[in-house]
A = this chain, B = another copy of it.
């Protein structure tokens, strides 16, 4: 099942650079791993913003929440989830 997920990142302005870099490094590894597993289907940057538009393909709401709440940047993110269903005019 597909979910639209919008993630906006708000790092505290006084977070030390090396801590921020460490978290971002873990986030990237985490994101690449989920993409390789086919669960994080698409990941795009919203131009001009520290925000992404993602499509997740998972089996249940519980699996989705488990994956999202495990994001290293989760405590610093505002996340919005939208359930997507098949469109009657979709080719695929």
Q: How far is the CA of A83 from the CA of B67 in the complex (A)?
A: 14
B61 near A1 (CB under 8 angstroms)?
A: yes
Q: Select A1's contact among B15, B60, B89, beta carbons within 8 Å.
A: B60
Chain B residues with CB below 8 A from A15, complex form:
13
A61 near B85 (CB under 8 angstroms)?
A: yes
Give A42 Cβ to nearest chain B Cβ, in Å.
8
**Which of A27, A48, A62: most chain B CB closer than 10 A?**
A48
Q: How far is the CA of A35 from the CA of B91 in the complex (A)?
A: 7
For this complex, 13 residue pairs linking A to B, each with C-beta atoms less than 8 Å apart, are: A1-B61, A2-B61, A13-B75, A36-B91, A42-B55, A43-B91, A44-B87, A45-B65, A47-B61, A47-B68, A48-B68, A49-B81, A52-B87
